[in-house]
Structure 1
Amino acid sequence: MIFAAAIDVALVFAFVLIGRASHGEDLLGVLNTLWPFLGGLVAGWLVMRAWRSPRRIVWTGIGIWLGTAAGGLALRLVGGQGVQPSFAIVTVLVLGVFLLGWRGVALLVRRVRSPR
């Protein structure tokens, strides 16, 4: 469970770092972008009770992905940060690839390793 949560946090952080790198942001800019998505990630984990089956894609992974994206965008709005439509689209797509992708890879690895 802790490993799965750490992967999710690392991938949300990577999402923010990749996005902010194109804008030449300093550490404060990165943290300003990061906190809403970490809040959304925590909300997604709590709502989905992800600690029970953190590597499942359906429903856990999908709930975490949507909670992180929607919660992060909502917190950005509440925090007075802008949410351009293009940013929202990229956010949903990239977080989907990241947060569902590692779970898909983990599933494939388990299937390959499991005896038939």
Structure 2
Amino acid sequence: MWLVVDLLLVGVFAVIGRLSHYGALTAGGWWTTAWPFLVGTLAAWVVLVAARRRPAAVSSGVVVWVGALAGGMVLRQLSGQGTATPFVVVATLVLGALLVLPRIGARFSARGPRPHSSR
């Protein structure tokens, strides 16, 4: 399930980027932006599976975040797309939020409500 969630959220990242820079969204434009980060996400998942990490763990979210970001930036550079510093900063923050925060939320919701202590 987390693989699908991660890929969808990386896709959302590409939609947000396309809309914020171009004001419109086309399938080809979305794909141009998304594919490097999707490949980076899949590479990170290969690492998670090989290391037998729990996909829902917050640390796994960090692995996916770093993989999506690093893989995405390397592939963008190799394919002639931009990797300007402001883009790297924004991508770092947005991908971090999209790929790590849901796992933090899932972790806390799995614990259930905490009992209140009476003093």
TM-score (norm 2): 0.87
> 3-state DSSP class of the match of 2:80?
coil
Percent pairwise identity: 38
Which residue is equivalent to 1:109?
Answer: 109
- The offset of 1:52, in angstroms, is 4.0
> Highest CA radius of gyration, 1 or 2?
2
Mapped to 2, the partners of 1:51 and 1:61 lie a distance apart of: 14
Gaps of 5+ in 2: none
Count of residue correspondences: 112
- Which residue does 1:56 correspond to in 2? 57
User: Does structure 1 residue 88 correspond to structure 2 residue 88?
Assistant: yes
Matched residues in 2 for 1:80 and 1:47: separation? 26
Measure how far apart 1:51 and its partner are: 6.2
Query: Structure 1 residue 19: deviation in Å?
Result: 0.9
Residue 92 to residue 47, structure 1, CA distance change in 2 (3 Å): same
- Structure 1 unaligned blocks of 5 or more: none
RMSD after superposition: 1.8
Q: Give the Å deviation of 1:26.
A: 2.1
Q: Deviations over 1:18-65 (max 9, x none)?
A: 11012124221110011000000011111232764100012x211111
Q: Which stretches of structure 1, 4 residues or longer, exceed 4 Å deviation after superposition? A: none
How far apart are 1:101 and its partner, in Å?
0.6
Q: Is the 8 A contact 1:57 1:100 kept in 2?
A: yes
Q: How many angstroms does 1:113 deviate by? A: 6.0
Partner residue in 2 for 1:73: 73
SS at 1:107's partner residue? helix
